[in-house]
Amino acid sequence: MCTMMASFMPSLAAMDNKTTLANIIGLPILVITMVVSIFIEINTGVIKHIKLNHLNVYSSIFDCVMVAYIYMAMNLLLLRVMILHP
């Protein structure tokens, strides 16, 4: 999703006003739907904390939940840049 949004940014300049408006309205719907889906996956346990070592020591370096939160934050940041940037 982050790669798609970053690739989509330069193509906005080549669109006419109606197409740009339609894409700018559709993109937040897609991003918000994806963020809600990830929140649901975290709350239901699909995305969960993992233990990497054989000693069952919790490792925060490869925490899948933290990676999901960072992913959502980056998507929302990219969305903010795309919509509010002149």
- Whether residue 73 lies inside any domain: the answer is yes
Structure confidence by residue, pLDDT tens digits, 22-63: 888 888 888 889 899 999 999 998 888 776 655 566 655 667
**Contact in structure between 31 and 1 (CB atoms under 8 Å):** yes
Q: Is 0.85 topped by the overall pTM?
A: no
Domain annotation covers residue 46? yes
Is 80 within the bounds of a domain?
yes
Q: How far is CA 83 from CA 26, 44, 55, in A?
A: 11, 31, 47
* Cβ atoms of 35 and 76 closer than 8 Å: yes
Provide the β-strand partners of residue 51.
58
Q: What is the mean pLDDT of the chain?
A: 79
Q: By residue range, what is the domain housing residue 45? A: 29-86
